[in-house]
Amino acid sequence: MVRKILVTGADGFVGRHLCRRLESGPGAGAFEVIRTAKMPVDASLAFDLENPASVEAAVAASRPDAVIHLAAISTAYLTDGTSERVWRVNYEGTAALAAALRRHVPGAGLIFASSAEVYGASLRDGQPKRETDPVAPESAYAKSKLAAELMLEATLAQVSPVVALRLFNHVGPGQDERFALPAFAAQIARIEKGASTPVIKVGNLSAKRDFLDVVDVIEVYRRVLDLLQAPAGYQLFNVSSGKPREISELLDKMIALSSVPITREVDPDRLRDINIPVSCGNSEKIRAVIDWSPRVNIDETLIEILDYWRNRIPPVGQEDPTQRMQ
């Protein structure tokens, strides 16, 4: 039996990879993928988390067997004055989705993309976090994600299977350069094409983060879909590599992959105190439940990110002003 999977945020970094995996990867015939987008194109369904009526209409029209809820305002997109909108999208929008599912397709499962940022201040001890460790979110983004977790457990999970994933850093080709590793890759690609001087200006890169390749994260989503065929209830999992890596080390690896000599230079204007020196997760629970472990080596990931930006940035004099992120 083909299962209808509604993917919110299908036009985002993870959403694009996920939809391709479900539609053309192993076992693809088992799924009918229903894409949503705030500005729908092609066959995608209109869906705006700031408009509860559009959320209601999308669920009523598609009547999915399961939902993978990726859509949110991400930390990298936050600017001063956006806190209220973060709550509208990440919490109120998720609540509207949960209510629509209860009304139209009670029993349909939900995978919720939460965040490791909910651990917040508790990460300062440098120890890998388990799902049972204290949460102490500090930003509006992290607080909105935790609030959505609690709301889903108290409401939708009473009639449907709900799985919340606390995702640590995940990277890969197609990620916006407002994130650290894509930003480095884009700078290196511009230097190789002669569009920038061969110097990367940096701040404090001593922070250690727990990185996964997006391919490994997508495999988690695929396997967790099978958990949604269980009775109503709530499950919570960390998704992480368990191996914190220093940002400085990863930049050095990327510079070593460059086709031209590049130096890095500390820019005093970029120096910031590091609030969380180490962020790392313990993912033993999900590894046991879905028989999963990361397979992509970080060195492969860095090469793919670099190649993505090399293919996007034209040589000097051949720029295309109409080019946009795909």
pLDDT tens-place string over residues 263-307: 998 888 777 667 899 999 999 999 999 999 999 999 999 999 999
Topology of domain 3-171+211-239, CATH: Rossmann fold (3.40.50)
More confident residue, 88 or 274: 88
> 209 near 244, Cβ under 8 Å?
yes
What is the distance between the alpha carbons of residues 39 and 154, in angstroms, rounded to a whole number? 31
- Residue 282 pLDDT: 98
Query: What residue spans define the domains of the chain?
Result: 3-171+211-239
Residue 325 has pLDDT above 50, yes or no: no
How large a percentage of the chain has pLDDT more than 70? 92
- Residue 324 pLDDT: 42
- Residue 41 pLDDT: 59
Task: Tell which residue, 119, 108, 106, 100, has the closest CA to residue 48.
Answer: 100
* Residue 57: Cβ within 10 Å count: 15
- Residue 270 pLDDT: 73
Residue 227 has pLDDT above 90, yes or no: yes
Instruction: Give the pLDDT band of residue 215 (cuts 50, 70, 90).
Output: very high
H or E stretch at 100: helix 93-104
User: Span 214-220, mean pLDDT?
Assistant: 98
The one-character DSSP state at 128 is: P
Q: What mean pLDDT, rounded, does the chain reach?
A: 92
Residue 170 pairs in a beta bridge with 212
Least confident of 21-30, 89-98, 137-146, 152-161: 21-30
- Residue 27 pLDDT: 85
| Residue whose pair of structure tokens reads 């993917």 in the numeric block | 7
- Residue 103 pLDDT: 97
Residue 69 structure tokens: 């809820």
User: Span 124-151, mean pLDDT?
Assistant: 96
Residue 87 structure tokens: 């709550």
User: Span 134-159, mean pLDDT?
Assistant: 96
pLDDT tens per residue, range 55-64? 999 999 999 9
User: Span 191-198, mean pLDDT?
Assistant: 94
Instruction: Give the pLDDT band of residue 98 (cuts 50, 70, 90).
Output: very high
pLDDT tens per residue, range 167-187? 999 999 999 988 999 999 999
What is the distance between the alpha carbons of residues 135 and 144, in angstroms, rounded to a whole number? 13
Q: Determine the Cα angle at 10 with ends 131 and 225, to 5°.
A: 45
